[in-house]
Amino acid sequence: AQKVTQAQTEISVVEKEDVTLDCVYETRDTTYYLFWYKQPPSGELVFLIRRNSFDEQNEISGRYSWNFQKSTSSFNFTITASQVVDSAVYFCALSEAPFGYGGSQGNLIFGKGTKLSVKP
Amino acid sequence: DSGVTQTPKHLITATGQRVTLRCSPRSGDLSVYWYQQSLDQGLQFLIQYYNGEERAKGNILERFSAQQFPDLHSELNLSSLELGDSALYFCASSFGLAGAMDTQYFGPGTRLTVL
């Protein structure tokens, strides 16, 4: 069965520290997609990144970077030089693309989230 | 701003009542998804519609139903409400049929409180 585990429930850092949020997933499919979403205190869910299972290249976007390792079924998220505005709950999610995906599910399986608090 | 709109933002009602949550997807998106976020269950998928047709069901209770209209907006109907239905309800939309292939963009959510 599909499952996403975010073992870190809460993390607290001081501004300018680097922080890594862990995500481990389980799936039996060879084709799948991984996502990270941010939920700030205001409550909305903000899309950060999507990665497909065939692309293991790491990605960097400004202070954000993602490390996808199929060998360990992990998709970790690092924030460099954290800022107070990074304080939020971060969710990792998995979606599978069944063979001949037309007509079938694409819903997201979310982890429980990691609450990041960045203190000034 | 994701381009997905949800109304109302907040809803307070009593047990046993029925409410309707509304969602308008991003312009051009054909798929609409409903998710429930509660403290004990986390974020859970409820149901998906594509171009007016139901395509996938998740952990949606029989007391809940949804539909997608010809103009592609969607409504989630919750009836015989119980205290445990209090949660944040999100709508998301994506362009295509399979959310796996497309990114799902989320609305701001409707916070439902059942007293």
Convert the pLDDT of each residue in A26-43 to its tens digit. 998 888 889 999 999 999
Q: Which residues contact A100 (CB under 8 A, 6 or more apart)?
A: none
- How close B34 gets to chain A, by Cα (Å)? 9
Residues of B in contact with A43 (CB under 8 A): 88, 108-109, 111
**Predicted confidence band of residue A65 (pLDDT cuts 50, 70, 90):** very high
Residues of B in contact with A106 (CB under 8 A): 31, 48, 56, 94, 97-102, 104
Please state, for a pLDDT cut of 90, what percent of chain A lies above it.
71
Return d(Cα B60, Cα A48) in angstroms, integer.
27
Give the closest residue to B90 by CA, choosing from A37, A50, A7, A85. Answer: A37
Chain B's closest residue to A95, CA to CA, is B100
Convert the pLDDT of each residue in B21-43 to its tens digit. 999 999 999 999 999 999 888 99
Backbone angles phi, psi at A27, to 5 degrees: -160, 150
The amino acid sitting at A106 is G
Is the Cβ of A46 closer than 8 Å to some Cβ of chain B?
A: yes
Q: What mean pLDDT value characterizes chain A? A: 90
Give the closest residue to A76 by CA, choosing from A42, A36, A43, A33. Answer: A36
Is the Cβ of B103 closer than 8 Å to some Cβ of chain A?
A: yes
What's the rounded mean pLDDT across residues B75-84?
A: 97
pLDDT at residue B78 greater than cutoff 80: yes
Give the closest residue to B90 by CA, choosing from B29, B19, B27, B25. Answer: B25
